[in-house]
Amino acid sequence: MSMIWWEISILCHPNLEESIFWRLDQFGCSGTARNIKGKSYLIYAYIPELQKVSPDLAALSLYLQQDALLSGFPPPLTSWKLIDEEDWASSWKKYWQPTKVGDHFLIYPAWLTPPQESDRFILRLDPGAVFGTGTHATTQLCLESLEMCLSDLTGETIVADIGSGSGILSIGAILLGAAKLYAVDIDPLAINAIRHNRYLNQIHPSILVINQGSVQEILNLVPEGVDGILCNILAEVIIELIPQLTALAKPRAWGILSGILLDKSQVIVDILEQYGWVVTALCQQQEWCCIQIRRN
């Protein structure tokens, strides 16, 4: 029997994106998609009907309005409807087309036939219900930063991807020449997604090692540390992880941190410096930023 889903539609100011995604995650949504509509964002989220959440959808809408008013932005317009599983699985795909990122990447949806030849690395992707399609500013900033960090590889570079989501950054690092990558995420849906995307991109499991969990799981596998660290989550989570990221890093390791709103970047930079990291670059797209760091 197919499952019935609630599809939640939210028309909002772009600066509300982070707080809305946070609310949707807290609400228990299993997938999100975003479309640009004029000067606004149209965000879609999905949650199974069997959770009997219909009485709470009005409360969710109220929370989103309150968050917007506290931030000084117009309240978003929220609506919802029931759809069947087939519609849920395909509805967000119509908003996603092949995307060029940086100088080297072409992100290609798995359900489209890729070109026979390309002057870019074709990164095939089916994110499922997890974050990471290459369209979000934070993901693009990370991929562009990867191009810089891996432009002059020497020896075998071992990289860790903390909060891997769909695995887009892990696969991107391997396409650029990383010898081995350890990817972790606390979400079992993400683990399923990255394993599927590993298969789509014909990467051997010995090169892209996937585990459910966080930094400690990688420390158990690689106690000597890694050469590079990728972490595209949220500023608050990154702050909590900085001591563990430091323990995971080799003495001359580099890192790429994103999912950070620009107005929260200085707090992170200050804490990084306390743990012996040096900021080598700070890249910005819209209100988001990506911080490139190296061990001092």
The answer to whether residue 124 scores a pLDDT higher than 80 is: yes
Tally Cβ neighbours within 10 Å of residue 243. Answer: 13
Nearest C-alpha neighbor of 128 from the set 202, 210, 197, 41: 197
pLDDT band at 268 (very low <50, low <70, confident <90, very high): very high
Q: State the SS3 of 200-267.
A: HCCCCCCCEEEEECCHHHHHHHCCCCEEEEEEECCHHHHHHHHHHHHHHEEEEEEEEEEEEEHHHHHH
Q: How far apart are CA 178 and CA 84, in angstroms?
A: 41
Long-range Cβ contacts of 58-65 (<8 Å, 24+ apart): 60/8, 60/23, 60/27, 63/23, 64/10, 64/12, 64/16, 64/20, 64/23
Given 3.10.310.10, 3.40.50.150, 3.40.50.970, 3.20.80.10, which CATH number is that of 97-295? 3.40.50.150
Q: What is the pLDDT of residues 165-204, one digit of tens each?
A: 889 999 999 999 999 999 999 888 788 889 999 999 999 9
Residue 86 has a pLDDT of 61
Q: Is the dihedral of CA 283, 97, 132, 61 positive or negative?
A: positive
Choice between 237 and 46, residue whose per-residue pLDDT is larger: 237
The owner of tokens 């199974």 is: 48
Instruction: Report the percentage of the chain scoring pLDDT > 70.
Output: 90
* Burial class (CB within 10 angstroms; exposed 0-12, middle 13-18, buried 19+) of 25: middle
Give the max Cα distance, the chain.
57
Token code pair at residue 38: 């004029």
Mean pLDDT (the chain) is 87
Q: How much is the average pLDDT of 137-144?
A: 91
Model confidence at 210: pLDDT above 90? yes
The answer to whether the CB of 63 falls within 8 A of the CB of 76 is no
CA–CA gap between residue 33 and residue 135 (Å, rounded): 10
pLDDT in tens, 6-65: 889 999 998 898 888 888 877 877 667 778 888 899 998 888 776 555 547 888 898 999
* Separation of alpha carbons 238 and 232, rounded Å: 8
Q: In the chain, where does the domain assigned CATH 3.40.50.150 lie?
A: 97-295
- Could you tell me where the beta strands, DSSP code E, fall in the chain? 4-12, 31-37, 40-48, 77-84, 99-101, 105-109, 121-125, 158-162, 180-185, 208-212, 226-232, 249-261, 277-285, 288-295
242 half-sphere exposure, CB direction, 13 A CA radius: 24
Residue 55 confidence (pLDDT): 47
Give the count of alpha carbons within 13 A of 243, CB side only: 1
Residues of the chain with CATH 3.30.70.260: 4-94
List, as one string, the DSSP characters of 267-285.
HHHHHHHHTTEEEEEEEEE
* CATH number of 4-94, picked from 1.10.268.10, 3.30.70.260, 3.40.50.1370, 3.30.365.10: 3.30.70.260
Task: Please count the other Cβ atoms lying within 10 Å of the Cβ belonging to residue 174.
Answer: 23
What was the pLDDT predicted at 240?
Answer: 95
Q: Which position has the higher pLDDT, 101 or 92? A: 101
The CA-based angle 192-196-201, given to 5 degrees, is 150
Find the mean pLDDT for residues 257-281. Answer: 94
The confidence score (pLDDT) of residue 52 equals 54
> Would you state the pLDDT for residue 128?
63
pLDDT value, residue 87: 60
